[in-house]
Amino acid sequence: MDLDVRGCSLQDSTEVPCVSLQYCLSYTGHRVLNTLQMAVWVRVDTHSDLPRMFFLHREPESSNNITMNLRKAVENCTTVYTYISPEPRDKLTPLVAEMVSGLVEAAGADTTLLRPVLAPTSSESQTHTAVVHIKNNCGDDNVCVPDLSVTVDM
């Protein structure tokens, strides 16, 4: 992510660098319900002590919870837009986005149908992450080369 490219505007018209995140959910199975509800929790900048990344539609929040209604064998995708603080203090730690999803229990569900089991783990929820790196001290050719030198006098 290039901090000099400020393609989004906050509610107060401040221009900020931004990136879109997309997540897609779907399910299939034999003898499972034709529709399911999934609880989805998305957090951004999960590995930083000082928040730098936020949701554009929920400024200045860095987490978002929603419930998605899914139909069997139909992929349901959601795009969320995030922005970065214009001048983050920490430019070295990558920006990590995390999505956790899990089944919402259906009240009065038909017991002749099987409750889906999420793969590939045996837990009741799934966690997925995406990483965004901040460009730092790059030249006009967009090639980032560290320029570190150390001098020691004894």
Q: Check residue 122 and give its pLDDT.
A: 44
Strand partners, 102: 39, 125
Identify the structural domains of the chain with CATH numbers, from first to last. Answer: 8-132 (2.60.40.1460)
CB burial class (10 A; 0-12, 13-18, 19+) of residue 51?
middle
pLDDT digits (tens, 9 = 90+) for 90-132: 888 889 999 988 888 765 555 545 555 555 544 555 678 888 8
Q: Whole-prediction pTM value?
A: 0.72
Q: Over the stretch 45-93, which tens digit does the pLDDT of each residue have?
A: 988 778 899 999 888 899 999 999 999 999 999 999 999 987 888 888 8
